[in-house]
Chains A and B, each alone.
Chain A
C-alpha cells in the first residue's frame, strides 16, 4: 500500500498548457500516473498530447472523474486555482506554485477547512508513491519501492534523503514534500497519521527546517499516537536568525523556530535525530536493523 495516491489516482493538471505544466505532465505519465484531464481557461476542447483540456475544473471533473489535481499556474492566479478545484469537489489538491501571497493563503485555507479538502503545498515538489504514481516534479528514477515513508518541508533535500535510502537498498512507500511556505495545507501530523495507519509503512523519515513549530507539533503526535520508528533531520541549525532562508516559512523569529528546539522536542519523544544531512539514510538503516532485532527476539 501507499498513502494518498496510487493506481486509482485520476489526475487533473491545472495549467497543463504552460511550459512547466506540460513538461511535468509528461514526466508524470511516464512514471505511470493516469492523467485524465487538463484545465486552461480558453483552451477547452483542445488536447495536450493525448490529454483532453477543459475550460473549467468543474467540467473536467464531470467528464473524466478526476479525483486529484496538481496546480502549475503562476503565483498571482494560484489561490484562485486552488479554490476552483475545491469548489469542484476534488478531495486532494497539490499546489506546486511558489510565491503565493500569504494573505491569499489565509483566505484559501479557511475555505478549504469548510470544504474538507486536503491540500499539499503550496511551494512544494508534490508527492510520489514508489512504483505506482507521481503527482509532482521530483525525478522518478531515484525512488525505490519499499517500506519507508518520507515527509519533508523541502524539495531537493528530499531527493538527497531518498537517494541515500535507495542507495542503501531501503525502498519507500510514499514521499511527500509539504512545502516551504508559512501557511501550507497538509502538515507533518497529518502525514504521520496516514503513515501510522498504512500497513506497508514500517518507518518514517521526517525532514524539517527552521521556522514555525510544526516539528514540535509532530513530536507531540509521535508521543501520543505513533508506534512506528521515526528518523528526523532538521535543516538550518547554522542559519542566522531573522533571515528568510529561501523558503518564505524558513525564518527564525527571535527565540522561536530554532533548529535545536525542534531536534530536542523530537529526541525527547524517541525520534532518532541525525545532525548530519549526509547520514539520513544510514541512520534509517540502523533504526530498521534494531527494529528487526527486537521483533526477532520477541
Chain B
C-alpha cells in the first residue's frame, strides 16, 4: 500500500525525522491560509500516487499566498499525467503547501527489504534528487549500503558511519545520524516495505530535512496496522480494482487489453498474460482467484470482469489443485443466470474434479467455447476477440 507525501511526512515527523514546515490543503482557500501562515514564499505540491511529478508540472514554487491559491486552484481537480501514470493521468485531490527551502545539498536515503540477505538494507548517497536507479547503473560506487541485523537494529555506529559517508558537516552529524536511526524505527514500527527520502537536503541554514518522502507498506501486515490502513486513498486507485477488493477479490489488476482473464494462482495467471501476448492478444486484467471454496466468489469475479467495458472476450483457465474445477463450473453457470454476459467465454478446466466440472458445463446448455489445453484456450480467446 502507498501513502501520499503529506501522510508520509506526518509519520516521519512523529518519529523524529525532520521535514519542512507545511500542511495539506484540499481547497485553494486552505492553500492560501497555509501559505500566509508560512510567510508567503512556498512550494505547492500535487499529492498523487505516482512518481515524476516535478517534470509533469505537479510542483509549483510561488512567492505569495495569492499565488499559492492560484497554483492550488490549477492543480486541484485536475489530472496529472506523468511517465508513471499512463495517458489517462491520475486525479489530484490534495496539495501539500510547504515552506520554500534554500537547498545547499541534495542527498538520498532509503530503506528496503533485501530478499536475498533476508533483512532490511539502508541505502544512502550523495547523489540525491536523481533517479536512484540511474545512479545505481552508472555510478554504483556512489551508493552506500548498510544491512540491518534485526536483533541489533540501527545502532549509533551504523547511523554515524552512514552520516560520515554522506560527508555531513560536523555540526550536522548528530542531526543526520539521528534522522537515519529514526527512519529505521518508523520502518520497523509501521511495517514498511519502502521508506525513501529523495532528496534528503541540507539547507543553507544548516538543517537536515526530508524534502520529499515516500512510504510503501507491507500489505501482509495491514491487519496489525489499522492506522496505516486508514491512510489508503482509493481515489488514486483504479475504480474496478477498488470494486473488486470490496467484493473480496484481492488479486485483480486492471490492464489495457481486451481479454478478461480468470485464473487460479498468481504464477499461472501471469503465464496466461504472457501466453495471450504470444498468441497476438492482450489481457484486460490479471485475476488470481486463489483457492475457490464457494461458487459465489466465482460469480463475483465474473461480475467484475463482465462490468469492464474493455473486455471483448473472457478466458477462464483453471488448474485445480486446492481449487476445485466443479466449483468454478457451477459459478460460471450461476453467473450466466444472474447477469447478461455478451462477450464470448472460453473455458479450460484441468486438475481436481475436472470430470464433474466439464459435466456441469456440458449440461448447462450455455454457449461456451471449450478448450482442452492451455495454448488452445489462449488461441481461442484471441480468435474470439478478432472476430468480434
A contact residues vs B (CB 8 Å cutoff): 75-76, 99-103, 105-107, 109-110, 113, 125, 137-139, 142, 152-160, 163, 180, 182-184, 187, 207, 209-210, 212-214, 217, 233, 235-240, 242-250, 254-256, 259, 275-278
Contact = CB atoms under 8 A, between A and B. Distances in A.
B253 A156 contact: no
B288 A246 contact: yes
Given A157-B265, A278-B375, A245 B253 contact: yes
B69 to A, nearest CB: 33
Interface stretch (B24-32, B114-122, B294-302): B114-122
Q: Is the interface of B mostly helix, strand, loop or mixed?
A: mixed
Contacts of B267: 152-158, 180, 207, 209, 235, 246-247, 250
A76 to B, nearest CB: 7
Interface in B235-284: 251, 253, 255, 263-278, 282-283
A249 B115 contact: yes
A269 to B, nearest CB: 19
B151 to A, nearest CB: 7
Given A247-B267, A254-B133, A238 B273 contact: yes
B270 A245 contact: yes
Interface string B150-163: 11000000000000
A255 B113 contact: no
B265 A155 contact: yes
A118 to B, nearest CB: 14
B244 to A, nearest CB: 13
Contact of B266 (A107, A137, A250): A250
A246 B321 contact: no
A109 B176 CA distance: 30
18 contacts: A102-B193, A103-B113, A103-B188, A106-B119, A137-B322, A139-B320, A152-B267, A153-B267, A155-B268, A156-B319, A212-B116, A238-B277, A245-B270, A246-B269, A248-B220, A255-B133, A256-B133, A275-B274
Contacts of A212: 115-116
Contacts of A244: 219
B151 A139 contact: no
B6 interface: no
A143 B311 CA distance: 36
Contact of B221 (A101, A155, A163): A101
B116 A210 contact: no
B178 interface: no
Nearest to B318: A156
Given A101-B220, A213-B116, 5 more contacts: A102-B218, A103-B113, A103-B221, A110-B119, A183-B118
A187 B223 CA distance: 28
A239 B115 contact: no
A213 B119 CA distance: 15
Nearest to A247: B266
A278 B374 contact: yes
Nearest to A211: B115
B224 interface: yes
B378 A278 contact: yes
Given A155-B265, A155-B321, A209-B270, A217 B120 contact: no
Contact of B150 (A100, A107, A137): A107
Interface residues of B, number: 57
B68 to A, nearest CB: 31
Contacts of A159: 268, 319, 321, 350-351
A76 B269 contact: no
The 3 closest A-B pairs by CB, nearest first: A154-B267, A246-B266, A156-B265
Contacts of B150: 103, 106-107, 110
Contacts of A256: 133
B191 interface: yes
Contacts of A182: 113, 115
Contacts of B131: 254
Contacts of A152: 267
B111 to A, nearest CB: 11
A102 B116 contact: no
A238 B131 CA distance: 24
B274 A277 contact: yes
B320 to A, nearest CB: 7
A125 B260 CA distance: 26
Contacts of B320: 139
A102 B219 CA distance: 9
Nearest to B115: A182
Nearest to B263: A156
A182 B219 CA distance: 12
B351 A139 contact: yes
A109 B117 CA distance: 9
Contacts of B275: 276-278
A278 B373 contact: yes
Interface string B212-244: 000000111101100000000000000000000
B286 interface: yes
A42 B270 CA distance: 41
B218 A103 contact: yes
A233 B275 CA distance: 12
B121 to A, nearest CB: 11
A102 B220 contact: yes
Contact of B286 (A75, A106, A239, A242): A239
B101 to A, nearest CB: 27
B288 A101 contact: no
A253 B133 CA distance: 10
Contacts of B375: 276, 278
Contact of B321 (A107, A139, A235, A236): A139
B115 A235 contact: no
A100 B120 contact: no
Contact of A180 (B223, B263, B266, B286): B266
